[in-house]
């Protein structure tokens, strides 16, 4: 079951259950006897990347179930999406090493089949939640966690105000009387959106023509160096030609004198090594939803140019 985006938490046509939107890998876990399978939302298997979770679920006293949840990795300074990404490594020896160094946890928020093999898909969420709570209690493992929930919209708003700081990504709302609608956007997700003024330190061309496709964004660190923190590609087609001329006139290395755009990402189609540096003069305001590892976790949305802002004013303090 998927979620549709909204700007505010739903209150009408309920009752609603609210829960955190975790910043991890969505995962369905299946167990039958000693066989365990982990599937990503895309349908791709995840089990080989998280052998410690496969072993954990295989060792649970419950011999049969299907659950829906999120895989996360915790470090001493909190949850780390970067550490989670690193787990998707082709070498088995590396995976085994990382499973020891950065073990994953499984946060559960729905149960789709119970230990008796019954499908719970048509049951209302309140009954599926009760079955899930009983399952987690029987598991008795600190690495199989139950996602907290509330039916109090005021508390959900407080959770939302604290989201986007490396732990949760927002709030998901589900109808307490609703069934599990696989493949449908039957949930509602609300993210805490913030804005930041960023320096444009470079750009990338579109793949099929020499016009600007995305702006590379930077913020000044405590040492006064410009670090690359993300990108925005929401550029109006009507402005693309003039913007290309403007940025080409500013081309000058290094663009970023701190952390520059790095190697290709497993999760982004951005061509990380193919970019044009510019003098760090233009300032833009962008909207973002989540920060992790000192970077915008997703692509940002262009809001406006800020000619009234000096580049030196664009610092990491905006992310605090």
CA distances from residue 174 to 41, 69, 126, 189, 304 in whole angstroms, order as listed: 18, 14, 10, 9, 34
Q: How far apart are CA 282 and CA 198, in angstroms?
A: 8
Question: Mind telling me the catalytic residues?
Answer: 21
Closest CA to 279 of 240, 234, 226: 226
Structure tokens at 306: 């800020």
Hey, CA dihedral for 313, 314, 316, 320, is it positive or negative?
positive
Closest CA to 192 of 217, 218, 219, 168: 168
- Could you tell me if 212 and 205 are in contact, meaning their C-beta atoms sit under 8 angstroms apart? yes
Which residue's entry shows tokens 């990402």? 265
């Amino acid at each position: 079951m998927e979620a549709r985006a909204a700007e505010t938490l739903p209150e009408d046509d309920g009752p609603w259950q609210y829960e955190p939107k975790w910043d991890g890998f969505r995962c369905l876990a299946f167990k039958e006897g000693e066989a365990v399978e982990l599937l990503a939302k895309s349908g791709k298997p995840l089990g080989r990347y998280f052998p410690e979770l496969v072993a954990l679920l295989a060792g649970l006293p419950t011999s049969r179930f299907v659950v829906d949840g999120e895989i996360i990795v915790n470090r001493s300074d909190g949850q780390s999406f970067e550490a989670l990404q690193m787990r998707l490594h082709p070498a088995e020896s590396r995976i085994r090493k990382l499973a020891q160094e950065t073990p994953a946890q499984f946060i559960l928020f729905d149960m789709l089949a119970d230990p008796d093999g019954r499908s719970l898909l048509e049951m209302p969420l309140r009954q599926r939640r009760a079955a899930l709570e009983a399952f987690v209690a029987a598991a008795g493992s600190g690495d199989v966690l139950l996602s907290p929930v509330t039916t109090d919209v005021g508390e959900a708003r407080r959770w939302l105000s604290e989201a986007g700081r490396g732990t949760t990504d927002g709030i998901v709302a589900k109808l307490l009387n609703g069934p599990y609608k696989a493949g449908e956007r039957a949930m509602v997700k609300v993210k805490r959106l913030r804005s930041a003024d960023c320096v444009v330190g470079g750009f990338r061309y579109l793949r099929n023509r020499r016009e600007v496709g995305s702006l590379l964004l930077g913020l000044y660190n405590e040492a006064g160096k410009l670090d690359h923190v993300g990108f925005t590609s929401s550029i109006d087609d009507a402005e693309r030609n003039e913007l290309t001329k403007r940025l080409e006139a500013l081309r000058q290395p290094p663009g970023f004198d701190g952390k520059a755009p790095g190697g290709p990402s497993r999760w982004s189609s951005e061509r990380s090594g193919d970019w044009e540096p510019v003098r760090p003069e233009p300032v833009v305001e962008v909207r973002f939803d989540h920060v992790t590892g000192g970077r915008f976790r997703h692509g940002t949305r262009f809001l406006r140019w800020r000619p009234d802002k000096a580049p030196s004013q664009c610092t990491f303090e905006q992310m605090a």
